Amino acid sequence: VGGQELEPPAFLPELLNTPERILSNATLFNGVFQNVESVALFFDCLGSHFTWLQSIFTNFPALLNFVNKMKCVTGLCPRDFEDYGCSCRFEMEGLPVDEADECCFQHRKCYEEALEMECTWDPSKIPTDSGDPCEQFLCTCDKDAIECLVNAHINSSLNGLDVSFCPSPVT
């Protein structure tokens, strides 16, 4: 189990082969991306396997927002956490095994709590500017996860960790 191979978005090969002169006036994802290269860089940063992010984000704008902030603040990409530890996976396989894995664990738990409160991320709002309690809660989840990752040590030996090493939650 764990991360699963993702097919590149169907539009990406065609987009990358479109002449620059045609794309110069194009708007990519409502102006979020400057050019075709920035689209390709984003998908490279996202990675080819599922991580905990794809299991908690229900829409692309929310995922895009978090990944951009994560990269800007921490210098890390989701691909750095492909099948990392026990919690930074598409399916959580057990309790966290280090600080970085704990960040994924807490981020996931925060979104589970938001789901219980029936909170969803509205891409038409800027969460920090919204008075909506759900928007504020989700913004705090993301902020806390990014701050956690800034301070966490990444242990590359935990990439692709065999899930048999994941401690089971105490029930």
Q: Which of 80, 142, 153, 162 is catalytic?
A: 142
Q: pLDDT digit string (tens) for 16-59?
A: 565 555 555 455 666 667 777 888 888 889 887 768 888 888 88
Domains annotated on the chain, with CATH: 50-165 (1.20.90.10)
Q: Which of 83, 98, 107, 122 is catalytic?
A: 107
The CA distance from 5 to 107, in Å, is 23
> 98 catalytic, yes or no?
no
> 142 catalytic, yes or no?
yes
* pTM for the whole structure: 0.77
Q: Count the Cβ atoms, other than its own, within 10 Å of residue 30.
A: 8
Residues of the chain scoring pLDDT < 70: 1-32, 50, 121-130, 171
State the Cα torsion 120-79-48-144 to the nearest 10°.
-10
